[in-house]
Amino acid sequence: MASPSAPTSPMKDNADYVLAVEQLARGAFAERRAAADTLVGLADDWLSNATISAAERDAAAQVVADALCAYIRTPLMHEQEAENPRNTGENPPEKERSFSHGEGQLNEGAEGALRQHILEAIHQRVRWRLNPGEQVGEYETPLQAQTTPGPWSHLVFDFTGATFCHPVDFTGSHWGRTVSFAGCTFTETADFSSAFYEGDATFEGATYRSGAGFVQCVYHQDVRHTGSVYRAGAEFGASTYRGAANFSRARFYGPADFGVSVFCGGPQHPVNFSCCVFAEAADFSKSCFCAYADFSTVQWMDTAFFEYCTFYNGTDMRGSSFTGEAAFAEAVFLAEANFSDITCEADADFDSCSFYGNYRSDESEYEGAVGFTNVLFLGDVDFAGARFTGDAPSFDEAVFAPGVLTRLPHKGQQDEGHQHPDTVPVMKLTQAPAGARLLPADGAAQAHTLLSTIPHQIAAVQGRESENMNFLTVSDKLRAVTESLWEWSQQVRDGE
């Protein structure tokens, strides 16, 4: 990861810095700890030095941050790999420096304590502080405008590939530039909650052997958790994503909570959970997805909660398998919802959902009960080739827009004890299925008028004025965008 440090940084010519880096690389444990404290103090001193330019101050501090991160990235060694550590006679750049430990057999407890000490020093300097006079609740994250970044928040931090053998606490951090924990291994708990990320944040390929916390975070740019492994519970709830959020190929072996989150990056910043594995319950309930949401080929091995979610852009669930219940009750889909080729071994609950775009579930297989009771369909509905090995789906009290193209399931013939409903040829709907009813033509026109105003309103929420919003204010504003549509849908369901 590139850092903003300059080749002419005054830090690299500083005798105290050169000695501290050498001691950190070669010294005994006590010397290494003293060297780390010296480096931290040097960065603090340079950042407060008013006699040089801001660019020089930042470049000097960045050199220290690079050196400390390089030390953290160095693998923990249980014994010295060589009698004499490599020494070429020249000091290699901090990014290339290989930190060896001069104590023969490594005291892993002491070394772990040193690394935790360094991380705590960094944490204290990247933490946001509440501005004077501001107050928030005990468990609330303030608006970003209510806070001041830490003195090191504007630096780049690269922990790529590090192994953390102790609890990691970066709660309440303000990362003003890029930060990378890609490929890291966390053997104890890792907590990144209540943090602001103004640059790209990379956690791809990380492994969490204990709990992972990312609750109430705000991401202004892209965040990547691609291919990460979560061996215990993972909490991401109540967070705001203004850039792309990529969790593709991640594996969650404990409960995963993404509930009440806001993905407001828009079409150019998609949400990607494709090819994920959720071994236990996964909760996305009450979340808002402004961006295209890709949940294709996901393995849901326990209950998948999407109740009360709002999907403002396309939704892709193609090829996913639901071993546990698929719970989508009262979710709202403003664009196409693609559930083609899914497999549901347990019940699938779509009761009281609203589909304003097309709904596709062709070539899917449902083994449990399937509920579309009180559902609103304004777009095309396609169940071509779908198989229901339990009861045929219920459309009781559902509402269909007239004239849409449909391939609806109906009860078919018995085959080896199972029902395989056929689908009728594609046709324009002129008569509602049993138990359902058609929406009056003027009602459909009214809905499309309301829908046409939503993209502009969403763009306003996604704009610069929302940068300092937390998940509560963003979700409230997004829900306000669809308030008129929701009121209209309730009137339709009530038969008014």
Positions of E strands within 357-470: 359-360, 365-366, 370-371, 376-377, 381-382, 387-388, 399-400, 405-407, 414-415, 418-419, 427-428, 437-438
Place of tokens 């430990």: 101
- Structural domain containing residue 456: 236-496
Mean pLDDT check: name the lowest of 321-330, 365-374, 387-396.
Answer: 387-396
Q: pLDDT tens, 454-482?
A: 887 787 777 654 556 666 677 777 777 78
Alpha-carbon distance of 384 to 393, in angstroms, equals 14
Select from 123, 124, 117 the least CA-distant residue to 166: 117
Residue 144 lies in a domain: no
DSSP structural state of residue 182: T
Residue 193 lies in a domain: no
Among 74, 100, 126, residue at a domain's last position:
74
Please say if the pLDDT value at position 105 is more than 80: no
At residue 109, the 3 state secondary structure works out as helix
Residue 254 lies in a domain: yes
pLDDT of residue 363: 95
Alpha-carbon distance of 235 to 281, in angstroms, equals 12
Cα 413 to Cα 267, 404, 420, 434: the distances in Å are 43, 27, 6, 18
Among 74, 93, 125, residue at a domain's last position:
74
Q: pLDDT tens, 404-415?
A: 888 887 654 334
Please say if the pLDDT value at position 379 is more than 80: yes
Please say if the pLDDT value at position 73 is more than 60: yes
The crossing angle, in degrees rounded to 10, of helices 15-26 and 54-73 is 10
Among 74, 90, 110, residue at a domain's last position:
74
Residue 84 lies in a domain: no
pLDDT of residue 480: 78
Choose the most confident range, by mean pLDDT, from 27-31, 74-78, 321-325: 321-325
pLDDT of residue 416: 46
Q: Are the CB atoms for 378 and 474 separated by under 8 Å? A: no
Q: What is the mean pLDDT of residues 128-150?
A: 89
Cα 465 to Cα 275, 436, 462, 473: the distances in Å are 34, 43, 8, 12
Please say if the pLDDT value at position 340 is more than 70: yes
Strand partners, 223: 201, 245
Q: Are the CB atoms for 68 and 36 separated by under 8 Å? A: yes
pLDDT of residue 83: 30
* pLDDT greater at residue 104 or residue 47: 47
Q: What is the mean pLDDT of residues 15-33?
A: 94
Write down the mean pLDDT value for the chain.
Answer: 87
Alpha-carbon distance of 158 to 393, in angstroms, equals 52
pLDDT of residue 249: 99
Please say if the pLDDT value at position 94 is more than 60: no
Q: pLDDT tens, 46-72?
A: 999 999 999 999 999 999 999 999 999
The residue type at 474: V
Please say if the pLDDT value at position 86 is more than 70: no
Contacts of 213 (CB under 8 A, 6+ apart): 171, 189, 190, 191, 192, 193, 235
pTM of the model: 0.88
DSSP letters spanning 2-17: -----TT-GGGG-HHH
Residue 251 lies in a domain: yes
Alpha-carbon distance of 4 to 65, in angstroms, equals 11
Cα 348 to Cα 117, 183, 308, 316, 393: the distances in Å are 50, 36, 15, 16, 10
Residue 85 lies in a domain: no
Cα 234 to Cα 247, 285, 322: the distances in Å are 12, 15, 20
Alpha-carbon distance of 362 to 345, in angstroms, equals 16
pLDDT of residue 434: 84
Please say if the pLDDT value at position 89 is more than 80: no
The residue type at 309: C
Residue 158 lies in a domain: no
Q: How many domains, the chain?
A: 2
Residue 394 lies in a domain: yes
Please say if the pLDDT value at position 245 is more than 80: yes
